[in-house]
Amino acid sequence: MSQSEQHHPLTDFIKYPESEMLERSVQFYENIKRRHSIRMFSDQAVPRTIIENCIKAAGTAPSGANHQPWHFVAISSHEVKKQVREQAELHEKGFYDGRAGDEWLEALKPLGTDANKPFLEHAPWLIAVFSQKKGGVHAGDQNTNYYVHESVGLATGFLINALHHAGLATLTHTPKPMQFLSKVCQRPDNERPYMLLVVGYPAQNATIPHHATIKKPLEDIASFL
Ligand code: IYR
């Protein structure tokens, strides 16, 4: 067996007593349901190490053939944040002025969003997530990646969860189109911008739209056979 085909014993799985599992599952749910997308951020700084740790957590997500087809660009530079805001607002204006179409704009009404994105400058961190069509288990590999969208979606979910767990608020922001992020973030042509996370503390007067608090009950999202 070649070295790359070796397996290791699983040594870090923790088996909890069932009563503890029950308690942990409740605790996790109670904690994650306090996660809300917010659009009003404080400009209070967040230490870089916290962001690094959350990105490390995101990097443990499962991915097709373990190729980890993602790259995260963490932006705290005022100059770069300003560029992101300018570009995002420019594109979003076209979107809200009609490119989105009536049905989409109608669906967004309860969220109260518009083309103004001041939070892109106020928040201490923006994390641009990029997906890679080509790659491999080592940086620089140029093999085919598999299930790229699924993998990057999972890593982004891990990241949002890690940031929330650390005590930060986020917005999953999808400026449309967002190709401009490649240039602003100095990423190569073979990577595609996937999502932009806005990260920081909520502003003191932050609100969340009622619409976003409506979560489907278990019976509507799950079946047990
Ligand atoms: N990208 C726009 C519009 C937008 C689209 C969806 I779908 C949302 O859930 C929220 C907003 C914007 O960020 O304003």
Ordered per-residue pLDDT tens for the chain, 225 residues: 787 899 999 999 999 999 999 999 999 999 999 999 999 999 999 999 999 999 999 999 999 999 999 999 999 999 999 999 999 999 999 999 999 999 999 999 999 999 999 999 999 999 999 999 999 999 999 999 999 999 999 999 999 999 999 999 999 999 989 999 999 999 999 999 999 999 999 999 999 999 999 999 999 999 999
What pLDDT score was predicted for residue 13? 98
**Prediction pTM value:** 0.97
Q: Are 139 and 71 in contact (CB under 8 A)?
A: no
Tell how far the Cα of 85 is from the centroid of ligand 1, in angstroms: 15
Give the residue, by CA position, lying nearest to ligand 1 atom 2: 175
Per-residue b or e along 142-152, where b marks 16 or more CB atoms closer than 10 Å to that residue's CB? eeebeebeebb
Q: Can you name the residues that pair with 171 across neighbouring β-strands?
A: 198
Q: Which residues have any ligand 1 atom within 6 Å of their CB? A: 92, 95, 108, 111, 113, 173-176
Tell how far the Cα of 168 is from the centroid of ligand 1, in angstroms: 21
Tell how far the Cα of 13 is from the centroid of ligand 1, in angstroms: 39
Tell how far the Cα of 132 is from the centroid of ligand 1, in angstroms: 23
What pLDDT score was predicted for residue 196? 98
What pLDDT score was predicted for residue 3? 79
What pLDDT score was predicted for residue 1? 74
List Cα–Cα distances, 75 to 125, 127, 148, in angstroms: 5, 6, 23
Ligand 1 atom nearest to 114, measured from its CA: 14
Tell how far the Cα of 120 is from the centroid of ligand 1, in angstroms: 14
What pLDDT score was predicted for residue 19? 98
Q: Can you name the residues that pair with 131 across neighbouring β-strands?
A: 70, 192
What pLDDT score was predicted for residue 107? 96
Give the residue, by CA position, lying nearest to ligand 1 atom 10: 108
Could you tell which of 89, 96, 113, 198 is best to mutate to test the pocket of ligand 1, judged by most ligand atoms within 8 Å of the CB?
A: 113
